[in-house]
A and B are shown apart, each in its own frame.
Chain A
């Protein structure tokens, strides 16, 4: 039994129906987990010496608008001793995009969660520094959401170049 299978079995045993699914795709395992259980699951994965997932490799989110559940917060954990990656996924509904922060378990989740808040608008309960990180502090909106426009400038072709040029705000001095 590989280490990831062992970890999955142990989590299923501890958390039972709070893990609705285990997804296998291209040889990688992702466990779908309820948002209330994520902090406890991460604590178990980190502290238990038989599991020892000691590195939080990635923490990000995916927006499935207009489907529900809208957001999926994705965690990638890595175990140094057993050389294995395990993925966790927390589905969130658009009515309540909040989840507990895992900063107390993995301190480097701090900035990753700030980035998810900045880009998606998901709030993390218990986070020590809930501010925007990549966008300016007074920016309105969450850019990586699917209903946020790309914000591109019209491409200038010969038929509209003069028009766009006239509207563009060039600096005079």
Chain B
């Protein structure tokens, strides 16, 4: 017997559907949590007039993991591990946002080498996230070969992450104060090899899709949102830039040394799916340029702060320094206390603004962590974007919104 939480009656939704649904004029269809094109467990209740979508009601929460509550019972360093799993295509970006918030709260310094490596890794993560976006978006619009090509490139990036941290996805490499370990030898050469080969690959994807009349037919004038509407609905990232507003938190509120690098912020004009595609493809080139600049200027020096009140000492010191042993013990068993207060840090994830609101209470565990995630904000606007389009176009719109359900539900 299906339990009641899954069944929805028209009564509960009558304030959201049009009056025609109540008259039985339009059809209510469930585009369930398990669906090949919803990019995760997203449930959409569609009100259809034939094939045309009158309204769609997103129902999320199928991947709600209780991360925010789980982080409250762990120390600041233990809670970092949970942030990887939130937006699972932007692991290092989530780590970075959380670490920036912790560093702001406890006033911890980050050495320049760590900042530069953070930029390199975050931009690599942005490229790999955009590759998955392109792969699944194109797959939904029936271009399957793009899927295979993008994942081939993504493997190269995952190899770089594995070289640096041992893990392909959930690296937890960016820690409060800097990085977990220094870069291994051979990393810089490997990244340069990747950067040499990659722009040609982006050109390959563009040759497949950008001027393809089928792709243009399926994405031009689909899911249009104007700039004022986009701002009113809290869209950020490529969703906002596709409509013409060039807000990028790497330029507006620079963090981790982004102010040193030259890069453009591509914007679109029409605010439709095609423009958002162009914006993200242009961002791939910009990310390559940023990584190149950061690599060229990579400073030497320590990879983590030397503040022993927050950072455990290196294991080599434990052999001969009693103080180091005491710090090590205290930090790994109890953690470090953070002052009472709240900070909000906003960074630019591949999807939009990823914000972390962190409240400290004087103890070693975060009192409250809230992540303002871009996918949550973008799913709200789906009914507005999909009104009047076909169901097949709805699939393209969801793809262009680049939602990750782990991000939306946390």
A151: shortest Cβ distance to chain B, in Å?
8
- Contact between A144 and B68, CB atoms less than 8 A apart: yes
Chain A residues within an 8 Å CB radius of B16: 129
Check B330 for interface membership: any CB of A closer than 8 A.
Answer: no
B residues at A contact (CB < 8 Å): 4-5, 8, 12, 15-16, 60-61, 64, 66, 68-70, 73, 104-105, 107, 231-234, 236, 245, 247, 252-253, 341-344, 346, 353, 355, 357, 359, 367-368, 370, 372, 376-377, 379-381, 409
Chain A residues within an 8 Å CB radius of B355: 57-58, 76
- Contact between B104 and A26, CB atoms less than 8 A apart: yes
A residues at B contact (CB < 8 Å): 25-26, 28, 30, 54-58, 60, 62-63, 74, 76, 78, 80, 83, 85, 87, 106-108, 110-112, 115, 119, 128-129, 131-139, 143-144, 150-151
Question: Chain B interface secondary structure, helix, strand, loop or mixed?
Answer: mixed
- Contact between B343 and A63, CB atoms less than 8 A apart: no
- Contact between A87 and B367, CB atoms less than 8 A apart: no
A65: shortest Cβ distance to chain B, in Å?
11
User: What are 27 A-B pairs with beta-carbon distances under 8 A?
Assistant: A25-B342, A26-B105, A26-B343, A55-B234, A57-B344, A60-B370, A63-B368, A74-B370, A76-B357, A76-B372, A85-B253, A85-B346, A87-B344, A106-B232, A106-B234, A108-B233, A108-B380, A111-B376, A111-B377, A111-B380, A129-B16, A134-B64, A135-B64, A136-B5, A138-B5, A139-B5, A150-B69
Given contacts A80-B245, A83-B253, contact A55 B357 (CB under 8 A): no
Task: Considering the complex, give the chain B residue whose CB is closest to the CB of A46.
Answer: B232
Task: Considering the complex, give the chain A residue whose CB is closest to the CB of B361.
Answer: A64
In the assembly, what is the distance between CA of A42 and CA of B377, in Å? Answer: 19
- Contact between A76 and B5, CB atoms less than 8 A apart: no
A143: shortest Cβ distance to chain B, in Å?
6
From B15, B104, B370, name the one whose CB has the most chain A CB atoms within 10 angstroms: B370
- Contact between B4 and A138, CB atoms less than 8 A apart: yes
- Contact between A74 and B342, CB atoms less than 8 A apart: yes
In the assembly, what is the distance between CA of A42 and CA of B379, in Å? Answer: 23
